Amino acid sequence: MLESHALYQELQHHVDHDVAPDDIATTRRDFSYLGHAKVSFMVPDSVKTAVADEVNALLDKAGTRRELQFAETDFSPRRMRNVTRAEIARLGTVINEIYTAEPILRMLSAVAGEPVHPCPYEPEQFVITCLEQDGDTHGWHWDDFAFALVWVIECPPVEHGGFVQCVPGTTWNKQHPEINRALVSRPIYSMELFPGDLYLMRTNTTLHRVVPVHEGRRKIINMGYASASDLTRDFTHETMDQLWATAPGGEV
């Protein structure tokens, strides 16, 4: 408890004193028209290390292998090992606390240009994902909620895959996802990532995927956040509910 309290102080101090207003302004502009931006500057190394240590420990304790495809995203492949929100909250301490930390919400809101809220649907608050077998990937999809903050813990060099691609300005029609149509309709951006990076994405209007990993290993924690309009909207949660309900290795 004391340790996590000290961590909170460091986070607050960093956000109050070490983040340059110019960094926020530039990132906010990029985010507004590209639908994604690196925000690695918003968290001090001490917090990145504490989150990485917890991700590594939880993957050792509780990772579950999943190989799935969903009609709602044109059967794009998901091949990965996950630790769910419930397991993270039960077995961990740091991630649970960082997720709702005021300095994090303040930074995210500044970059997004609108209030960013914790996700009202618990299973989508945070999830750990490890890509480690040849061909592991998080295929093309949108997320239900407006924002995702992804912390990169481990990532292979781009030669071996594991980078992110995205198409901002696209929307998810769950009955007719038409992913290929979205891919040819607008530019695809590719983002090289390194351990210690964080990025924010507007995931409900930015089609995105992780390019299959062929060597090495990629570990991330994805924290999902809601916009103000998400809080008053009715959602269906098909893909996430199926992801967590299906037995490991099951096919949908």
Ligand X SMILES: O=C(O)CCC(=O)C(=O)O
Phi, psi for 236 (deg, rounded to 5) = -105, 150
Rounded distance between C-alpha atoms, residue 128 and residue 219, angstroms = 7
Stretch that binds Fe ion, among 92-100, 125-133, 137-145, 149-157 (CB under 5 A): 137-145
CB of 183 to ligand X, least distance (A): 16
Query: What residues from 174 to 213 belong to the interface with ligand X (CB under 6 A)?
Result: 208, 210
Binding residue for ligand X (CB under 6 A) from 50, 88, 220, 223? 220
Residue type, 95: I
Binding residue for ligand X (CB under 6 A) from 54, 72, 136, 143? 143
115: CB partners within 8 A, 6+ apart = 109, 227, 228
Phi, psi for 65 (deg, rounded to 5) = -75, 135
Residue type, 122: E
Rounded distance between C-alpha atoms, residue 137 and residue 210, angstroms = 6
Which residues pair with residue 97 across a beta bridge?
Answer: none
Residue type, 250: G
Binding residue for Fe ion (CB under 5 A) from 54, 136, 143, 197? 143
Q: For Fe ion, which is the closer residue by CB, 11 or 193? A: 193
CB of 186 to ligand X, least distance (A): 18
The site for Fe ion, by CB under 5 A, has a size of 1
Asked whether position 78 contacts ligand X by CB under 6 A, the answer is no
Asked whether position 129 contacts ligand X by CB under 6 A, the answer is yes
Query: Cα 208 to chain center, whole Å?
Result: 11
Binding residue for ligand X (CB under 6 A) from 170, 222, 227, 239? 222
Which residue's CB atom is positioned nearest to ligand X? 222
Which spans of this chain sit near Fe ion (rule: CB under 5 A)? 143
